Structure 1
Amino acid sequence: MAESAEWSLQSAIYQALAGSAELTAQLGGLRVYDHPPQGAAYPFVTIGESSVFDWSTGTEDGAEHLVTLHVWSRSGGKRQAYALVERIRELLSDQAFSLNDHALINLRYQFSETRQDPDGETYHGVVRYRAVTEPAAAVAA
């Protein structure tokens, strides 16, 4: 059974973030999650929402993905959140990840936003990427 493009892309993003010694140092440990554990220590990064749209042409199958990453900080200001968002941008923008059963055509930064959450102590950074994938068979043909 072929792996979904969504999961393969998320796995590649996770590997890039988790494999970065610089990001791990900024986070104070390996704190990149699909779903954070109860009571996770701050700061941390979560791989959040993912939307997929048909990007097929008359002759080629394809998918457009919007992937949102979240940065969570309680360092008493936005500085740490800004630094983590910037590190993620450096790690992911225009990368040519190898995906299982799919080809990554491009991965592009779309936007980021940093704001204070209503609790008054958490700063939340949002980073969105747009990716286009094709089935590996379509690229090999």
Structure 2
Amino acid sequence: MSGRDLSGPLRRAVVAALQADPGVAALAGGRVYDHVPAAPAYPFLRCTTTIASPWEATGSVQGSLIRLQVDAFAKGYGRASAEPLAAATVAALDEADLAVPDGSLVSLQWRQTRMLDDPAEQGVVHAVIEFDAIAAS
């Protein structure tokens, strides 16, 4: 099976969509990062891990199956500090129709959200939000 890795263009499209989403902006402002600055203000989102594998449809359509991870970080004690930002992220991206440079988005679906206490910093809650996508060219 052959494919085409579109995980980079998809990640950039997701960052742009989250930065433009009013629900996310109300909670995180413009703090949606591909790379987090040294001393970020809270709360913020980080679009990090992508895992891509080849995808091919009938004919010459090729692309990628992509697992995309968005991390939400919030300060406050308890999971409730990160839950609204995680929910806004899901609302902004689940089944979204994003423009992917050099390709097209076939599907983008929310997979799961996990809430974790961040061991690196006291009082920081970390939500791991995962999506499954198919992007093709």
The residue number in structure 1 matching 2:129 is 127
Amino acid at match of 1:31: R
Q: After the TM superposition, list the runs of 4 or more consecutive aligned residues in structure 1 that deviate by more than 6 angstroms.
A: none
The Cα RMSD (Å) is 1.5
Residue 91 of structure 2 corresponds to which residue in structure 1?
90
* Cα contact 2:72–2:126 (8 A) shared by 1: yes
Separation in 2, partners of 1:23, 1:86: 9
Given residue 33 of structure 2, which amino acid in structure 1 is its aligned partner?
Answer: Y
User: Which consecutive residues of structure 2, in runs of 5 or more, have no partner in the other structure?
Assistant: none
Q: TM-score, normalised by structure 2?
A: 0.88
Q: TM-score, normalised by structure 1?
A: 0.86
User: Structure 1 residue 129: deviation in Å?
Assistant: 0.5
Amino acid at match of 2:8: W
Q: Which has the larger radius of gyration?
A: 1
Structure 1 Cα separation of the partners of residues 78 and 110 of structure 2: 24
Deviations 1:14-72 (A, max 9, x none): 11110023312212x21000111011011110001001001124633221000000001
| Cα separation, 2, equivalents of 1:113 and 1:120 | 18
Alignment partners' CA distance in 2, 1:80 and 1:24: 16
2: CA distance between counterparts of 1:94 and 1:133? 13
2:17 maps to 1:5? no
- The CA distance in 2 between the partners of 1:91 and 1:57, in whole Å, is 27
- The answer to whether the 8 A contact 2:103-2:135 is kept is yes
Identity, % of aligned positions: 23
Whole-Å Cα distance in 1 between the matches of residues 25 and 57 of structure 2? 40
Checking the alignment, whether the CA contact within 8 Å between 2:113 and 2:129 is kept in structure 1 is yes
| Corresponding residue pairs, total | 131
Q: Provide the residue aligned with 1:71 in structure 2.
A: 72
